[in-house]
Structure 1
Amino acid sequence: MTPLLAHLALMARHNAWAYGRLLDAVAAVSEADYRRDMGLFFRSIHGTLNHLRVGEQLLWFERFAAGRSPALALDAEVEPDRERLTGALRAGAARWIDWLPTVPPARCDGTIDYTTTRGETVSLPWTGTLAHVFVHSTHHRGQITAALTALGHPCPVLDLVYFLRAEQAGATS
């Protein structure tokens, strides 16, 4: 694996670890608070998790791994059930980890061509766009941690350096 693909694989592993820690923390939130409008871009913790499922896993993964551009709204509620959504997010994050080692190194130098949710055809640098996927998820996980804090719940540490320390100690599962 090239250094660039190794870095993207690191980002994918961190992404899955951060989801695990965040979803464990969210499990302690009451159903009412989980669905409460907290002023997030996708309003509630549930709405934001659904957006992450749509954006990262149902749109971007399909674009990268299958070359398809599904027609989904970014605010679609694809999974109303909290437990099933949690399982889908965990499984979807693991798919990136499994897929990245299959990527030919030359792919990093190319583009990703896709159709946006508004029907616009776009061609962007492949590597930068994949990095965007993980940064985007980090952004929305940060919104959820702010909601947890506002609701009086402890906030998990999700920083990359803590993941690196946990991975080094063999404690990332």
Structure 2
Amino acid sequence: MDPKPHFETLARYNRWANRRLYDAAAQLSDAQFREDRGAFFGSTCGTLNHILVADRVWLERIEGSGPKPSSLDEILHDDFAALRAAREAEDERILRVVAATPAERFESVLSYRSMAGAPYELPFAQILTHVFNHQTHHRGQAHTLLGQFGLATPVLDFVYFLLESK
């Protein structure tokens, strides 16, 4: 099986799910957006920033260039509108990176350094799987936070993306 079309589908799903989540999050007041609700990254602001931080960390490792956050809890954008614009741009970047990845790279090993500087090597396709899985994990946390504020939370299941994409 050629893995590239699968990862291109995941990249499109990722953008779809993020747009739906951000549409719901846009209903939060600024105070709610920043309120520490005891989530792993505290607030909706912290959680959504963490997803963006992790994407930038991994894409810098994959591409060898680009923004390189200094910590996993860094707040890249304290303002919702700026964060949303950055998320949209990053999702487009992910789509471009996957589209530009040569087929043979999916069978390669990615050598990288952790944020602490430790060297690692893992299969490239598994790293890319992690990037999408990581977003799904933390989108679920943000989804819960939105529900705690009484917002109607969007359906984010992959199967609904597939049904809408037919």
Under TM normalisation by the shorter chain, which class is it?
over 0.9
Per the alignment, residue 116 of structure 1 pairs with 114
State the aligned residue count.
166
Equivalent position SS for 1:47 = helix
Aligned-residue offset at 1:133 = 0.3
The equivalent residue for 2:8 is: 9
Give 2:45's aligned amino acid.
H
Partner of 2:25 in structure 1?
Answer: 26
Q: How does 1:150-165 map to 2 (within 5 A)?
A: 150-165=148-163
**Corresponding residue number in structure 1 for 2:80:** 82
Q: What does the per-residue CA deviation read over 1:24-56, in whole Å, with 9 as the maximum and x for residues that have no partner?
A: 000001111111111111000000111111101
In the other structure, the counterpart of 1:63 is: 61
Gaps in structure 1 of 5+ consecutive residues: 169-173
Gap change, CA 1:161 and 1:37, over 3 Å in 2: same
Note closer, same or farther for the CA distance 1:158–1:71 as it changes in structure 2 (3 Å cut).
closer
Matched, 1:104 2:91: no
Aligned equivalent of 1:167:
165
- Residues 41, 128 of structure 1: alpha-carbon distance in 2 compared, 3 angstrom cutoff: same
Q: Secondary structure at the match of 2:122?
A: strand
1:69 Cα deviation (Å)? Answer: 9.0
Residue ranges of structure 2 left out of the alignment (5+ in a row) = none
Distance (whole Å) between structure 1 residues aligned to residue 66 and residue 33 of structure 2: 32
Where does structure 1 differ by over 3 angstroms across 4 or more consecutive aligned residues? 67-71
Matched-pair contact (CA < 8 Å) for 1:69–1:114: no
Alignment TM-score, normalising by the size of structure 1: 0.91
Which residue type is aligned with residue 82 of structure 1?
Answer: F
1:145 to 2:140 alignment:
no
- Provide the identity percentage: 37
Q: 1:40, 1:92 → 2: CA distance?
A: 23
Q: CA RMSD in A?
A: 1.5
TM-score by length of 2: 0.95
Equivalent residue for 1:91, pick from 89, 92, 97: 89
Asked if structure 2 preserves the Cα contact closer than 8 Å seen for 1:71 and 1:117, the reply is no
Alignment partners' CA distance in 1, 2:31 and 2:103: 46
Deviations 1:116-142 (A, max 9, x none): 111111111100111000000000000
Distance of aligned partners of 1:118 and 1:18 in 2 relative to their CA distance in 1, 3 Å threshold? same
Is the 1:111–1:126 Cα contact (8 Å) retained in structure 2? yes
